[in-house]
Amino acid sequence: MPQKNLLTPETSSMPCKLCGNNQVYVIARLSRSGTALRSVICSDCGLVWSDPFPHNPRQFYEKDYRLEYKNTYTPKPKHVLRAGNIALTRLEKIKQLLGTSKTILDVGTGGGEFAYLLKSLGHDVHGTEPNRGYAEYSKAEYGLNLHIGFIQDSHYPPASFDVITIWHVLEHTEDPYIVLQKLHSLLKADGVLVVEVPNIEACCQAPKSTFHEAHLFNFNLKSLIKMGEKAGLLGDSHLISADGGNITVFFRKNAGAILTSDFRISDNAAYIMHQMQQHTCLKHYLSAKPYQRLLKRLCRSAAEINCIKGFDSNKGLLDQLYQAHNKL
């Protein structure tokens, strides 16, 4: 990765969705698959995005995404088990928000595993999912209350939800600000919005794997919190995963927000580029991280094969997983 002072500023094809700036630095020209993908960072705030977008987001997420990344139009048992385990880790992150029965919106429900877990705990759960195959599957398999489509097009009444979750979805959207603005309108005055995204500063993956066609935007903690502020939200607290790969921010409505049109973040672009420059392929493959990740994946695959045996329905698989967790 070239040093910032050796990079020549370029003009983006679209204004930055955070601060409106058009001056960017190109920080990568290839995706992890080796195909052309121009990734840029805003010089004024540090927001990172694919410029131009490599696909039509609406069409891609409605029809192509699951087939391209999962090779299926509905989840396979191994996907369900994996997502069920992830759902349990997400429950741990938000359990302090739940208490008695809550009205919850899960944005980007996918195969429905997390929404089903919340439903099994007695909450009034709603979800949105643009991919028709996954959405229709989760409605039929788990009886979920779903809007099939994008959250921007939904028609929920304002201030409807105590808790809104959006796990690894914001980076896929065509305009994160518009999405957060919509979620702000749907959140009750004392509600909490939980946003989790990949961390652009992460060094747990190989440098060449940082950018790919499905992630249109990339955030660090500062740019995610600032994007929330632009939508009228206040970053109340946050978590960063043990490997540094994910950021989770808990937002509330910012009743005392001071209106501003300046969403620049001083030195954030320079800081992100410095972090990326330090994470070289040589340093990565001389560390234990890639081999620990590989071992973890192999162990997970073996455990999944063993767990899937004997089940003729994905719902039965999830029921056993969640019941076992509740007994702990």
pLDDT digits (tens, 9 = 90+) for 244-253: 999 999 999 9
pLDDT at 255: 81
pLDDT at 7: 81
Q: What integer best gives the mean pLDDT of the chain?
A: 93
Per-residue model confidence as pLDDT tens digits over 108-145? 999 999 999 999 999 999 999 999 999 999 999 999 99
Contact assessment for residue 122 and residue 145, using Cβ atoms and an 8 Å cutoff: no
pLDDT (average), residues 13-32: 97
The class (CATH top level) of 56-256+286-327 is: alpha beta
pTM: 0.94
